[in-house]
Structure 1
Amino acid sequence: MHSFRQSKRVLQWLAMLAACLTLAACGFHLRGAADLPFKTIYLGFGPNSAVGVELKRNIQASGAKVVDDVKEAEANLKVLADTRDRQVLTLNTNGRVREYALFQRFTFSVSDAKGVVVIPPTAITLRRVITYDENQELAKQAEEALLYRDMQSDLVQQILRRLSASKSAISTEKAAADGDS
């Protein structure tokens, strides 16, 4: 009985070691901070924008600085549209709402310090489906707020990925400007 437990424990350790080696061999790693192609950025959000606050925090965590004056920034993010919407998806047999679709639509563009557009107007649309029950009104309102917060975090991550992907466009423009000088 004792040797059975020992052999079982050894097999568990070997399986865990094999899983770790497999993960290490496949190139898996946790997503780190965004590698942004600029040192300073101006964000065109309103002062009370939840998306703006979260994006600012993530940009600062990646090592870039968010400035309050457009003239001091290497990049300028312009918010063209930021809307939330809720649409009825399905109705039950009594004609009451059964499901809603929640949407968050965000459109932005990014230009450099000279006004050259680095990222043309880009639209991001996020959608979540929520079931509805009038007997659980407060719980469904809380669930809807939670889904909107989740969409906001997803939106910020997508914006950061697009800013990071613009690295090649910004570095090409910098090289061209340095070559002209």
Structure 2
Amino acid sequence: MQPLIIRRVSKLLSFSIILMMLNGCGFQLRGNYLLAPELQTIIFSSVDQYGELTRLVKQHLSINDVTLVRQSEKAIPQMRILQDNLDRRTLSVFPNGQVAEYELIYTVRYQVLIPGQDIQNFRFELNRDYQDDPDIALAKSRELSLMLREMRKEAANKILRDMASIQL
């Protein structure tokens, strides 16, 4: 009976030590960002109110307990998504002249306006290579759609990381 209790206690102790070490080094699960208290209530707007990036950013903000308001009489921070745009550049072509590979370039521009401070403009690009094959156009169309969705998720995560880095 004694060895069983000792094994359980040692497992529990080992698990506790690992958790304390992870917590001590600052480890946090992604998706939960420590935003400044001043950014816990913001006015959020976007050029594409019903776009996927807007929906994802709103979702991330709500996960992080940020209250979104339409208007306020008090001076509160604002966040505006100004642009999200997908471009592509040809990387290679088949011998018959058809495009074989593209580079997808997803550009996002947004602003954070904090009362009493200068407007903070942010811009970033996400790049992915995409191989096109006209013989399997339907599958490649689906792949492109999934890749764009993944890029938008990554962009929403980047926006929250940038907001967490704002020093007030």
Q: Does 1:43 align with 2:44?
A: yes
State the shift of 1:35 in Å.
Answer: 1.4
SS in 1 for 2:86: strand
CA distance in 1, matches of 2:138, 2:112: 39
Gaps spanning 5+ residues in structure 1: where? 1-16, 171-181
8 A Cα contact 2:31 2:157, kept in partner: no
Provide the aligned C-alpha RMSD in A: 2.7
In the alignment, which residue of structure 1 is the partner of 2:128?
128
- Listed one character per residue, the Cα deviations across residues 85-120 of structure 1 (whole Å, up to 9, x for unaligned) are 122211022211110111110111101145x335x2
The 5-angstrom pairing of residues 20-169 of structure 1 reads: 24=21, 27=25, 28-37=27-36, 38-45=39-46, 46-69=48-71, 71=73, 74-114=76-116, 116-117=117-118, 120-166=120-166, 168=167
In the alignment, the residues of structure 2 paired with residue 99 and residue 90 of structure 1 have an alpha-carbon distance, to the nearest angstrom, of: 5
Say whether the 8 Å CA contact 1:88–1:101 is kept in structure 2.
yes
* 1:2-52 superposed Cα distances (whole Å, 9 cap, x missing partner): xxxxxxxxxxxxxxx8xx95xx56945522511112221112213212111
Q: Distance in 2 between matches of 1:49 and 1:72?
A: 28
| 1:70–1:76 contact (8 Å) kept in structure 2 | no
* TM-score, normalization by structure 2: 0.77
* Count of paired positions: 150
Q: Distance in 2 between matches of 1:71 and 1:79?
A: 22
Higher helix share: 1
The one-letter amino acid of 2:98's match is R
Per chain length, whose mean CA-contact separation is higher, i.e. which structure has more relative contact order (CA < 8 Å, sep 6+)? 2
| TM-score, normalization by structure 1 | 0.72
CA separation of 1:108 and 1:94: change in aligned 2, threshold 3 A: same
Q: Distance in 1 between matches of 2:159 and 2:75?
A: 18
Looking at CA atoms only, which structure, 1 or 2, has the larger radius of gyration?
1
Secondary structure at the aligned position of 2:83 is classed as strand
Secondary structure of the 1:162 match is: helix
